[in-house]
A and B are shown apart, each in its own frame.
Chain A
Amino acid sequence: MKKTMIDYLLMAWFWSSGLLILVILLAIIVYLIWRGGAFVNLEFILESPSGFPLGTEGGIFPAIKGTLWLILLALVLSIVPGLMTAIYLSEYGRSGRLAAFISLLVQSMAGVPSIITGLFVYALGVVTLGWGISLLAGGLALAIMVFPVIVVSSRNALLAIDENYRLVASSLGVSKSYTLYRIILPRAIPGILAGILLALGYAAGATAPIMVTAAAIIASSSGALLEPVMALPYHLYILFTEHSSIHHAYATALVLVCLVLFLNILALSLSSLQERINR
């Protein structure tokens, strides 16, 4: 095998783009720690923002609380429809025309920009139903946004379960719902949970949909459904665009990235657990 000049150039392209990706992630994390790490302490996590302009002193506790409320509500609203749709696609309607149509809709929904989801919930919830800028509206917008994520990941987890379980159960005369509930679902739990965690991470970082439906510059984030909340990503946006405090912006970004990456890493380890179970 004689290597030509072009071969070397191609190899250089492949290797450098691979390594560049690694460098980009490392650079982002190292830079955030370098600029924000010194400002993240217990006081920053547990206190409310204060000072003038707001956010120059104090911490981000209401923003953390608000983000947790938002993703919890998004999960509550999306999990049942999401799981039902996944179960339909994997167990009940594998080859039908309706299933193909529903699959297509879910896929297109995954492609809909999150600001459009925000726009829809703004018109429906905030204006027409009179909820105002509120936790409820933000939770709904995030729920619509993560619905396709939950459907696709749960469907894949269910489809990955060995087909023989279904065949044996039905040949023994076990009903479909019993098989699903006692045999298929329990085996797919790590995979489904991984999808849910991924969805939570996605919701925690989403800014555009909550910026028009739920977020306030300052709020107590008590968990009342019809009140605005603070949220980490929106707080970061405000701190930066209002030039309040660049240090606190870096620190907020660091906390947000840690939260999201924690959820992602948990999801990754659960899905590798699922792979081991399936094998």
Chain B
Amino acid sequence: MINLGAELKEKIISFIIIGAATVSSLLLLAMLIYILRESWPIWSQIGVSAFLTGSTWRPLNTPPEIGILSMIASTMWVAGGALLIAAPLGIGCAVFLAEFAPSSLAAVLRPVVNMLTGIPSVVYGFLGAAVLVKFFEVKFDLASGESLFAASLILAIMVIPFIIANSEAALRSVASEYRHAGIALGVSKPYLTMRVLVPLARKGMLGALVLAFGRAMGETMAVLMLAGNILRFPGSWFDKGEPLAALIALELGSSIPGSFHYQALFAAGLVLVVMVIAVNAVINLLLNRIQNEV
């Protein structure tokens, strides 16, 4: 070795970088473990199934009744509903951007999609509550217009940009030979898109939808301001409800640290984060299978 000192210096630098990267990314695991620890008394005393399937939430009663089934149902209604509205629009817009939009229009539309992701969720929630909910109240003569549906509608606008960006990337990654072959065979462009390009890009598009679903499940502010915050099992999309994220945001500040109520909120948080991570994991498995088929 010509220069042992320099070699050592390189070693030290790479060691520091590896160390810093490892430590900071382990933060995620630390977070999960910490939340699990804070919520441990719930799991050991009440039990996983009782907590997940109980539908009354009265943590301040003696003995406290804590079950989060209503909140889980609200979360699923809100996120599923948002996806139902956002998927056709988002995919339509992605196809438009990738295949049909005149380049001048696409040059405007892409930054617009980007800016929509930038608008804070509290602004969406505020506009939804001030405009949409008011509209429902006047139009359908309701005492209060909040509902899971209103929350879904606003969440849909919030997740559409993610669907567009990821689906467009998936469509663009389809090799252009397919397009050339389609044109050479005289197939119409919409037919080519729907029958050839979209199926080829379905892996990426499905991933985009799942990502959007995960985001919608964890969204707090818009849901808090629009879903009505009623602790009851939602019977339909047009009922009021209180999704998990809203429950935590509303009650955390008033719960006494160390109390059953406090621990139950951490347990609810753990359930939410596990749901989000599970959705992502399931889709990864599913996508691998699709890939293997092709």
Whether A119 sits at the interface, judged by CB under 8 Å, is yes
For the complex, count residues of A whose C-beta is within 8 A of B: 85
Is there an interface contact between B92 and A16, defined as CB atoms closer than 8 Å?
yes
Among A14, A211, A241, which residue has the most Cβ atoms of chain B within 10 A? A14
Among B25, B89, B186, B211, which residue has the most Cβ atoms of chain A within 10 A? B25
| Beyond A111-B280, A176-B14, 4 extra complex contacts between A and B, CB < 8 Å | A28-B123, A108-B277, A115-B220, A118-B249
Whether B140 sits at the interface, judged by CB under 8 Å, is no
Q: Compute how far the CA of A236 lies from the CA of B118 in the bound complex, rounded to whole angstroms.
A: 17
A interface list, Cβ under 8 A from B: 1-4, 6-7, 10-11, 13-18, 20-22, 24-25, 28, 31-32, 80-82, 84-85, 87-89, 91-93, 98, 102, 105-106, 108-109, 111-120, 122-124, 127, 144, 147, 175-177, 201-202, 204-208, 211-212, 233-234, 236-237, 240-241, 246, 249-250, 253, 256-257, 260-261, 263-265, 268
Main secondary structure of the interface of B (DSSP, over half): helix
A-B contacts, 8 of them at CB < 8 A, read: A17-B90, A20-B89, A24-B157, A32-B127, A108-B28, A111-B211, A115-B245, A234-B122
B residues within 8 A CB of A92? 14, 17-18
Among B164, B221, B225, which residue has the most Cβ atoms of chain A within 10 A? B221
Is there an interface contact between A25 and B220, defined as CB atoms closer than 8 Å?
no
Is there an interface contact between A81 and B20, defined as CB atoms closer than 8 Å?
yes
* Nearest-Cβ distance from residue A54 to partner chain B, whole angstroms: 18
When the two chains form the complex, which single residue of A7, A120, A249, A256 contacts B191, counting CB atoms closer than 8 Å?
A7
B interface list, Cβ under 8 A from A: 6, 9-10, 13-14, 16-18, 20-29, 31, 34-35, 38, 88-93, 95-97, 99-101, 105, 108-109, 111-116, 118-123, 125-127, 129-131, 157, 160-161, 164, 186-191, 193-194, 211, 214-215, 217-221, 225, 245, 248-249, 252-253, 257, 265-266, 269, 272-273, 276-277, 280
Is there an interface contact between A15 and B188, defined as CB atoms closer than 8 Å?
no
In the complex, the number of residue pairs spanning A and B with C-beta atoms less than 8 Å apart equals 255
A residues within 8 A CB of B116? 21, 24-25
A residues within 8 A CB of B215? 111
